[in-house]
Homo-oligomer: A and B are copies of this chain.
Amino acid sequence: MSVAELQKKVKELEEELRRVKHGGAAPREKITQMSGEVVDTNPYSRLMALKRMGIVSDYEKIRTHTVAVVGVGGVGSVTAEMLTRCGIGKLLLFDYDKVELANMNRLFFQPHQAGLSKVEAAAATLESINPDVTFETHNYNITTVDNFDHFMSRIQNGSLTGGSVDLVLSCVDNFEARMAVNRACNELSQAWFESGVSENAVSGHIQFLIPGETACFDCAPPLIVASQIDERTLKREGVCAASLPTTMGIVAGMLVQNVLKFLLNFGTVSYYLGYNALSDFFPTMIVRPNPQCEDSWCKKRQAEYQAKLAAQPPKEKEVIVEEEEVVHEENDWGISLVDEDEPAPPPGTISVVSGLAEGITVAYDRPAPTANTGAEEVGADDATSLDDLMAQMKAL
């Protein structure tokens, strides 16, 4: 080959390498409109089939949604990949870590990415997987004062249309970052999901937090499954937490499945879903807000939610307001029972399962704000499952 030809070849190879490694250019063309056409070349055919199967009425709507993922580690990276492959409109990624070989026991990152920033490496891979998704990355720690303000502004203005994101997903591994997400979401009245895995890698959970309607992260001690771990010490100096791709993949799957149910209005969104890997146990529950919560924005959102309920027609108001009042007197942690006569929620709404379900425990004890009650005062299982079990017992 001539020098010119060799130079051209070098340029082509460098371009291809850049594309394959960093996704700078798209390995597939962008697709203007989602189609349900059943051909091998259509990356959306199996998703659009959800309409034909009667599961989702308007799958294309997913392209209008924006989701922020805070923490792009074992859970967050898989969460972002699932949403990308589902064709979400826009993803905002926040993390300040670098990819290390020590992360290779979880899905997503590959050894050749070691040393790169997690958000940049993730965005490059995700863009090559689905160039139809818009990515915005922030390589910083959201808990510092300046970054926190910027984080808030992106949650408020980061959507495809310049408005609020649809959901914030917390996939972080420490208490401070969760509290920062909680603070931001309370102030912005932003619905969000919390997720976590235990230090021993064999349990995890997701939790849906709607300011004013459900407990915020500051209302009650964090609820964990099966093992007594202080969330504040999850990243202790010198301690290497165990992790498994299975547990993190399952938690990411539970998280994104509930995000899809919420955004696309199908099935029942779980308020809290736990996972105990040792026994394949998946408890569900709801946690009501704590009227003595130390977060003033949480209390403001609670007042707004109560006012909203009070403004509703009497039929709906009656049951829920009464229930809330009982809760406030009984339980400082806001963990409550739901009226057994409350009808089952229709598809697309949120399930009401209450009490500290079997197998769930609080991450640590905290002094109760008043003397008369404590974290021990928790309810038992919900009415629905009791009815089911009565039926099962009769069948025996």
CB <8 Å contact, A280 and B254: yes
Residues of chain B with a CB closer than 8 A to A87's CB: 105
CB <8 Å contact, B110 and A85: no
CB <8 Å contact, A55 and B242: yes
CB <8 Å contact, A256 and B252: no
Q: Please give the count of copies of this chain that the complex contains.
A: 2
Residues of chain B with a CB closer than 8 A to A267's CB: 202, 277-279
Taking the closest CB of chain B, its distance from the CB of A337, in whole angstroms, is 8
CB <8 Å contact, B16 and A50: no
Residues of chain B with a CB closer than 8 A to A105's CB: 43-44, 46-47, 85-87
A284 at the interface (CB under 8 A from B): yes
CB <8 Å contact, B112 and A27: yes
Among A298-306, A311-319, A384-392, the one that faces the other chain is A384-392
Of the candidates A100, A107, A125, A281, the one having the most CB atoms from chain B within 10 angstroms of its own CB is: A107
B-facing residues in A33-87 (Cβ within 8 Å) = 36, 38-47, 49-50, 52-55, 78, 81-82, 85-87
A137 at the interface (CB under 8 A from B): no
The answer, among B125, B238, B253, for a CB contact under 8 Å with A250, is: B253
- Residues of A in contact, count (CB < 8 Å): 100
Rounded to whole angstroms, the CA-CA distance of A52 and B238 in the bound complex is 13
What 0/1 pattern do residues 251 to 281 of A give for CB contact below 8 A with B? Answer: 0111011101100001110100100011111
A145 at the interface (CB under 8 A from B): no
CB <8 Å contact, A246 and B250: no
A117 at the interface (CB under 8 A from B): no
CB <8 Å contact, B10 and A102: no
Residues of chain B with a CB closer than 8 A to A55's CB: 200-202, 242
Residues of chain B with a CB closer than 8 A to A43's CB: 101-102, 104-105, 111
Given contacts A47-B244, A201-B50, A351-B279, contact A107 B86 (CB under 8 A): no
A156 at the interface (CB under 8 A from B): no
A-B contact pairs, 10 of them (CB 8 A): A1-B3, A41-B101, A42-B101, A45-B240, A81-B245, A85-B104, A87-B105, A247-B257, A250-B253, A254-B280
